[in-house]
């Protein structure tokens, strides 16, 4: 097992969220889909990566490493790379 995995206790991973076209979308690489991250009064929309809209969304995001731990993060293409933090590192820096 890698040394870095031994040092950190297991925590569930939060899926990345990107802002595209005025809405927030959860990016689920395992299921290969975007889902709207919406308030409870809206239906959740599922957008497969291989759909026309999903393909357009994929062109607007980049996989960028976290500036602290290096774990890949889905970010809008215009994200400033030195400011990218994964949820774990963002939460740890607040504590």
Of 57, 48, 47, give the one whose Cα is nearest residue 77. Answer: 57
Over the stretch 15-51, which tens digit does the pLDDT of each residue have?
Answer: 888 878 778 888 888 899 999 987 777 888 999 999 9
- Check if the beta carbon of residue 35 is closer than 8 Å to that of residue 54: no
How many angstroms separate the CA atoms of 50 and 13, rounded? 24
Tell me: pLDDT of 92 over 70.
Answer: no
Domain assignments of the chain as residue spans, ordered by start = 15-87
- Check if the beta carbon of residue 58 is closer than 8 Å to that of residue 95: no
pTM of structure: 0.64
Which pLDDT value is given to residue 2? Answer: 53
Q: Which helix (H) or strand (E) holds 29?
A: none
Over the stretch 53-86, which tens digit does the pLDDT of each residue have?
Answer: 999 988 888 877 777 887 777 777 766 566 666 7
Which pLDDT value is given to residue 53? Answer: 93
Phi, psi (5° rounding) for residue 83?
Answer: -95, -5
């Amino acid at each position: 097992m890698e040394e870095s995995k031994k040092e950190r206790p297991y925590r569930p991973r939060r899926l990345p969220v990107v802002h595209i076209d005025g809405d927030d979308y959860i990016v689920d690489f395992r299921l290969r889909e975007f889902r709207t991250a919406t308030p409870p009064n809206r239906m959740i929309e599922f957008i497969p990566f291989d759909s026309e809209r999903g393909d357009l969304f994929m062109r607007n995001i980049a996989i960028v490493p976290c500036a602290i731990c290096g774990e890949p993060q889905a970010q809008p293409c215009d994200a400033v790379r030195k400011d990218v933090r994964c949820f774990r590192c963002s939460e740890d820096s607040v504590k």
